[in-house]
Amino acid sequence: MIEQIINGVVLGSMYALIAQGYTLVFGVLDKLNFAHGEIFMLGGFICVASIALGAPLPVAILVTAIIAGLLGLLVEFVGFRKFQSPDAHLTSALSSFAIGLVIIDLSQKIWGAESVAVVLPGTLQTATVSVVGLRIVVLRLAILVISLALMFVLYLVVTRTSLGRRIRAVAESPAKAALFGINVTRVNQQVFFIASMMAGLAGLALALRTGYASSDVGFTFGLKALAIMAIGGMGDLRGAVIGGLLIGVLEAIAFQWDLGQLADVFVWLFMIVILLVRPAGLFGTLISKEVRA
Amino acid sequence: MIQDYVVFVGVNIVLAWSVYVILLAGSLSFANGGFMAIGAYVSGVLTVKFGVPLVVAAPIAGIAAGVIGVLVGFPALRTRGIYLMLVTVGVAVSVKAVIESIDYVGGIQGFGGMVGTTPWHVLGLVALVGCGLTLLSKSPLQRILDAVREDELSAASLGINPVYVKLTCFGAGAFLAAVAGSFYAHYLIHISPDQFGIVLSVFIVLYAVLGGTNNMWGPPIGAAIMTLIPEFVRGLEAWRPTAFGLVILVLLLIRPNGLLAFRIATTRTKVALTALDFTGARSD
Amino acid sequence: MDVCPQSILSVDGLCKSFRGLTAIDSVSLEVRRGEILGLMGPNGAGKSVFVNVITGLYPADYGAVRFCGRDVTHLPSFALARLGIARTFQNIRLLRRMTVLENVLVAIKDHVNRPLGSLFARNRVGFVSAAMALLEHFYLVDKRDWLAGSLSYGEARRLEIARALAGKPSLLFLDEPAAGMNERETEELGDTIRASRKLLEAIVIIEHDVTMMRGLADRLVIMDAGRKIAEGRPNDVLAQPNVIEAYLGTDGADE
């Protein structure tokens, strides 16, 4: 049971990373980025490619983060900056979706439609360590630690740095932030970079954990993280983390009892209920977005 | 085969219209792929397992989807913009997930045996819906929809019940998507849940938006173009999805209001003025 | 047609708070048949909130509203409109992308009530003539095919009022109709309202412009900080010390 919970936390931390990315973009732009899940997917492949090209793991991680971040900048430019009309939330959603499709297709062209195995040097993949009497795969532990570290760093950035202040200002009101001299476009770019970087790293984490990179994870995990964001609280980073971890653990337990499919339906139905009953999400505070809409 | 074209374009036209009627009332739906699936499966079960003829099964499936649409819509339509988008996405994903878990209809494998759609069925459906929408655009109901879409608060102060209007349109959209889905299923003979994923729902919205939502002819044009483009760029066979995605992007960028961005306001005004002449109205 | 008693609208102890802040605190008033009632008071007095609660935009926390003797406290906006309570908005909410004529047509009684029925509505010619008659009354006939968004401010106001009357209401609330108007426009507005008097049972006007209201209203109700502080004939009420004080505190420069 404990092992399942740990698995759940690992899974949940991955969800949390992706969900935070959705939340960041929603927070500053009030829009949904449907390409986000595909950048997550691509993270796994970039990892595979880097390792295949001989890079040691830390380098692969760095490369994945940077390329994912840069891709995020591209998505922001093509899919979001150009759409500013009143129904931009629809057109950006559609355009980011289109970008997502292109990403899937390109990755299938490059790596084929089948899953690609991650080949790690030596015994890295299977090394285990004994912690409190349980055998835990080192890799999973590392992933967990890194994911939690990333979330912590993000927390620090958002709450303690000037970048974080600017992000929060734009999230509250782009118009007011601009009046204070904040370069809103620059902040948007930075947010996209950070969000996409985290998504890419989450994809890398998934690939390492399962041993495979595959091109359909964007729609399975990626989209579900969207539901998690809504459950945790739209625009609330804390909610994304708590929601992600919670759902991750619940799913792991559900899989244990062979209720995997039910867990899927449950998450989406739960999201619908939350949005209808308490749009702020479980942990979010209601920011009256109607004012901005 | 020309038959394939007629059926697929026709089905997609009706699907595009199913989103259009929802957009008309100022709502949004990324769930119509789900309603289409409901239509396909319900009609499939009726014809295959109960021997109901297609032309009876399709409307029944439509009504089933319409009822579900209204039930879902009632709480959902209190939300706006992004939230409504998410809720409808959730509906589409949930429908697929629920269908996958029902063994009676074959679960993940799906089931088959559905026959009966001819191009005439589809053409007839397109004509029927087209006439209905034309009738709508010339009627006072069109103005009511415009009012609700533009400013719900204002419309309510005039005595229009915005919830009722939006729900009716939502249910109508679900109905149309389901009937289209029924014909689609009975042409493909075998259906499975993975044909009705979220991608389908988004594509349906794209048909309507890319074509232009200012009048009823935009969505069919968007649907026709998006259905036929892949066929006509056969040279790019392997790169079709990428090319497709890029085309969508380009279209969204250059014509954010869709390909048919002009407003046929004159239809309504003409009617008003003709009516005036008829009454021998006062000269100004 | 309902036979309304002398008191067409009676509001009893209406209360509304937003997140702990009281906007209106136990306000009662009565609107009598045939009168033009002015609702005045300094900024933030709660006049708009009061009207918004009565017309169904916000739910009341406490209190009751009776229209023609019937309890309408918890009815939604559209239901109230169908019963005969119409309103205009402070920030003119016209359907800007529709024509002037269409704006009025959409509000014509008899097809609004049954949207689906209007799909096959037969009396379209009747609707159009009724709309044209209203437009004539408000001097907007020449601009019937203009987009509502292209009208001047004064014309837009008139259109809004015309549209509100298309539903044949008994009671009309005008929310700061003279906002942003110069003296000449305000005078014209006053004339328009006076000319519309006979089409309605009663009119309630929220306004800041003391001069206009002095000449237009039969009775005034003054609000301040969410409460009613005075009620009566304009000249009597406007001379009361507590009213003058309430105004001098914020914008007594109106006079």
What confidence tier does A137 reach under pLDDT thresholds 50, 70, 90? confident
The pTM for the full model equals 0.87
CA A186 to chain centre: 21
pLDDT for position C114: 59
Q: Residue C114: give its domain's CATH number.
A: 3.40.50.300
Check CB contact under 8 Å for B159 and C107.
yes
Which backbone phi and psi does C39 adopt, to 5 degrees?
Answer: -115, 110
Is the pLDDT reported for residue B128 higher than 90?
yes
Q: What is the dihedral of CA B206, B210, B211, B214, to 10 degrees?
A: 100
Residue to mutate among A30, A89, A90, with most B CBs inside 10 A, is A90
Interface of B with A (CB under 8 A): 28, 75-76, 78-83, 85-87, 89-91, 93-94, 97-98, 100-101, 197-199, 202, 205-206, 209, 238-239, 241-242, 244-246, 248-249, 252-253, 256
pLDDT in tens, B25-44: 888 899 999 999 999 999 99
pLDDT for position B248: 86
What confidence tier does A288 reach under pLDDT thresholds 50, 70, 90? very low
Q: Domain limits at C40? A: 7-254
Residue B215 near residue B24 (C-beta atoms within 8 A): no
- Taking alpha carbons only, the member of B214, B216, B200 closest to residue B255 is B214
User: Mean pLDDT for each 10-residue chunk of chain C (255 residues)?
Assistant: 75 89 90 92 88 92 90 92 92 87 84 59 76 88 87 90 91 91 87 88 90 90 90 88 76 47
CA of B129, closest CA in chain C: separation in Å?
Answer: 14
Select from B147, B159, B284 the Cβ nearest to the Cβ of C95.
B147
Instruction: Give the number of other CB atoms < 10 A from CB of residue B24.
Output: 24
What confidence tier does A134 reach under pLDDT thresholds 50, 70, 90? low
pLDDT in tens, B160-176: 999 999 999 999 999 99
Mean pLDDT of chain B, nearest integer: 84
Is the pLDDT reported for residue B269 higher than 50?
no
Task: Please tell me the distance from the alpha carbon of residue B177 to that of residue B181, in angstroms, as a whole number.
Answer: 6
Is the pLDDT reported for residue B17 higher than 60?
yes
Q: Residue A70: give its domain's CATH number.
A: 1.10.3470
If one counts the domains in chain A, the total is 1
Asked, for residue C169, whether it belongs to a domain, the answer is yes
Is the pLDDT reported for residue B219 higher than 80?
yes
C129 touches chain B (CB under 8 A): yes
Check CB contact under 8 Å for B154 and C124.
no
CA of B256, closest CA in chain A: separation in Å?
Answer: 7
Share of chain A above pLDDT 90, in %: 28
Residue C207 near residue C45 (C-beta atoms within 8 A): no
pLDDT for position A125: 62
Is the pLDDT reported for residue B261 higher than 70?
no
Q: Domain limits at A267? A: 2-291
pLDDT for position B63: 96
If one counts the domains in chain C, the total is 1
Check CB contact under 8 Å for C119 and B272.
no
pLDDT in tens, A5-53: 888 888 899 999 999 999 999 988 889 999 999 999 999 999 888 888 8
Is the pLDDT reported for residue B60 higher than 90?
yes
